[in-house]
Amino acid sequence: MEMVTTMLFDYLGRRTLYSPDALAIIDAGKTPERRFTYRELNDRANRLAHWLRDTAGIGKGDRVAILARDGVEHLDCFYACCKLGAVHTALNWRMHWKELDEVIRQTSPKVILFSDDFTNAVIELCNPARADATILSHCIHLEGQGIDGSVLLDKVLAQRISTPVVCEDLCAEDTAALLFTGGTTGTPKGAMISHRMINWNTLNTVVHDITHGDVYLNVFPLFHTGGLFTYTATQITFGGTTILMRQFEPERVLALIEREKVTVFAGVPTMYQMLTQAKNWDAADLRSLRFCTSGGAPLPVTLIEKYMNEKGIRFKQGFGMTEFGPGVFALSPDDAQRKAGSIGRPNFFVDVKVVDDDNRALGANAVGELLLKGPSMCSGYFHDPAASAESVDSAGWLHTGDLVRYDDEFFFFVIGRKKDMFISGGENVFPVEIESVLYKHPAVHMCAVIGVPDERWGEAGKACVVLKAGTTATSEELIGFLKGNLAQYKVPKSVEILDALPLSGMGKIQKSDLKKKILMEQGRPA
């Protein structure tokens, strides 16, 4: 009889015990597509864990890095690490190799898995001609020729046995993964994601979102909390099916939803805008969807109405972050139109507080910083005690840097980031308020408002706008539209029409990059 051994945090092994033949993963990024049952997925993770332990010497607490676009290999790595008590360290493939070098020095992984897209970056990282070359003892390539000394993942899996691998002394507070913050103020910080955090977030997600039999289509990068943990990890625990895409492709997304009868989809507002511009939008049958979740920024009311009227889709607005959750707030589909613009109420096991600059609690309808507390908070930043102490106060509250308010029914609204707010003529201006008006204009596809230096007002608003295909609008027209909907001091001094806005791997507009570009064009220090 085959030996069956699973420990408390061997999520994949435990799910395989319950539903071995259920469909776990559809890797739609492969040609041809590949499908894996829970038994097959667990088999892969066990085989990789054996190799990591026996060949690379990976044990509890050791880091294993992966630099790859989305695919089943991310889950191979994560769940192999869970079996070993090792730390899954997914690297942001959008970074330059010199930036990755800093992250690797900070985290010192012994092994890196990499896809063919990033072979050149790994060659640079491991270049023996550099006196300060990164020390990576073992490299696994996922496809292609790899580099000298690397081994193909398929060969690793074929050479190893699939008997269970467990770490018997693994506990809830041990770190399961490192996820990296945006890095706008220097080298990205690695948030330590504990098994405790993962499980409390799973519970919150089940309370508010996921049910048995769901089919989830993931379009978020798996180096991000939105990709790995918002729904994907919960689906594994709950036994559902997850579809992975190599990257976000609007036409393909719509086709997969229809073909695979997807029940849950999540994206950021820019993705939802792009889907409506896809060639197959009008013909796409999306009736299988129970709901769509939007996060990262407020979803324009006009977009909610378009999805509801044309596709009958109900939206859930969500809110999360790398350091907490990521399931922190949720707005139910029943309230999506009545409370449009709200991120909803706090999830079940999340405590919240809104404070002023002196850390005094504020009541309803007052704007202040959002503070969070609860068991789905990260354990601080890896090898950075100073940053860890700065983010959490003595009472255990995480200071998010987000400005919010809540109404009399305890529905929360994001006003913006503290760093995004600018002061014009002595008045606080919140870009998200201006952007929500711009999105009501029929020609606006995407927009972002930033504060730029102004000799008279200190700072003035500048709106950067991408127009919908086939439409026209002038800067003067858009300024006039804003004047008809906002107080004069909130209206940007200028509007610039652009072909595109800088986007993160998640599809969120990168205002810091946009502002740097604008200031450089103006000859000002960025």
pLDDT per residue as tens digits for the range 371-429: 999 999 999 999 999 989 999 999 999 999 889 999 999 999 988 777 787 878 777 78
What pLDDT score was predicted for residue 409?
97
Asked whether residue 272 falls in the same domain as residue 379, the answer is yes
Higher pLDDT, 481 or 419: 481
Q: pLDDT of 343-380, one tens digit each?
A: 999 999 999 999 998 999 999 999 999 999 999 999 99
Q: Which two tokens stand for residue 234?
A: 């919960």
Range of the domain at 301: 248-417
Task: pLDDT band for 477, please (50, 70, 90 cuts).
Answer: very high
Residue where a domain terminates, one of 417, 434, 454 = 417
Nearest to 380 by CA among 324, 342, 298, 304: 324
218 touches 260 (CB < 8 A): no
Which phi and psi (to 5°) does residue 6 adopt?
Answer: -140, 140
Tell me 188's DSSP state: P
CA distance 251 to 125: 36
- Kindly state the average pLDDT of the residues 178-195: 79
Q: Are residues 393 and 430 in the same domain?
A: no
- Tell me phi and psi for residue 392, to 5 degrees: -120, 125
Verify that 428 and 413 share a domain, yes or no. Answer: no
So what's the pLDDT on residue 5? 59
Q: What is the per-residue pLDDT for 132? A: 66
Domain membership of residue 95 (yes or no) is yes
Q: CA 140 to CA 25: how far, in whole Å?
A: 22
492 and 404 together in one domain: no
201: in domain: no
pLDDT band at 134 (very low <50, low <70, confident <90, very high): low
- Taking only the tens place, the pLDDT of each residue in 143-177 is 999 999 999 999 999 999 999 999 999 999 999 99
| CA atoms of 44 and 27, how far apart (whole Å) | 14
User: Do residues 324 and 355 share a domain?
Assistant: yes
Q: Is the pLDDT of residue 264 over 50?
A: yes
Verify that 468 and 429 share a domain, yes or no. yes
Q: Are residues 401 and 432 in the same domain?
A: no
Across the range 112-132, mean pLDDT stands at 86
Angle at 266 between CA 260 and CA 270, to 5 degrees: 115
Asked if residue 338 is part of any domain, the answer here is yes
Between 102 and 479, residue with greater pLDDT: 479
Residue tagged 């008590």 (tokens): 85
pTM of the model: 0.84
pLDDT: is 316 or 382 the higher one? 382
CATH number of residue 482's parent domain: 3.30.300.30
Convert the pLDDT of each residue in 463-474 to its tens digit. Answer: 999 999 999 999
Q: Which residue has the higher pLDDT, 518 or 257?
A: 257
pLDDT for residue 133? 60
Question: Same domain, yes or no, for 370 and 393?
Answer: yes
Give the C-alpha separation, 64 to 80, whole Å.
10
Q: Is the pLDDT of residue 131 over 70?
A: no
Q: What is the CATH number of the domain that holds 370?
A: 3.40.50.12780
Q: Answer yes or no: is 14 within a domain.
A: no
Predicted confidence (pLDDT) at residue 285 exceeds the cutoff of 50: yes
By C-alpha distance, which of 85, 88, 47, 46 is closest to 66? 88
In a domain, 228, yes or no: no
CATH number, domain containing residue 75: 3.40.50.980
Is residue 227 assigned to a domain? no
21 pLDDT higher than 60: yes
Exposure class string for 164-185: b at 16+ Cβ within 10 A, else e: bbbbeebeeebbbbbbbbeeee
Predicted confidence at residue 1, as pLDDT, reads: 39
Structural domain includes residue 257: yes
Structural domain includes residue 297: yes
Structural domain count of the chain: 3
pLDDT in tens, 201-237: 999 999 888 999 999 999 999 999 999 999 999 999 9
More confident of the two residues 140 and 423: 140
Give yes or no: residues 385 and 496 share one domain. no
Which of 194, 228, 256 terminates a domain? The answer is 194
Domain boundary (417, 436, 451) is at 417
Q: Are residues 53 and 128 in the same domain?
A: yes
pLDDT for position 39: 98
CB 448, CB 484: distance < 8 Å:
no
Mean model confidence pLDDT for the chain? 91
Both tokens assigned to 256: 């997969």
Tell whether 287 and 169 lie within a shared domain: no
In a shared domain, residues 97 and 164:
yes
pLDDT of residue 4 exceeding 70, the answer is no
- Say what the pLDDT of residue 269 is: 86
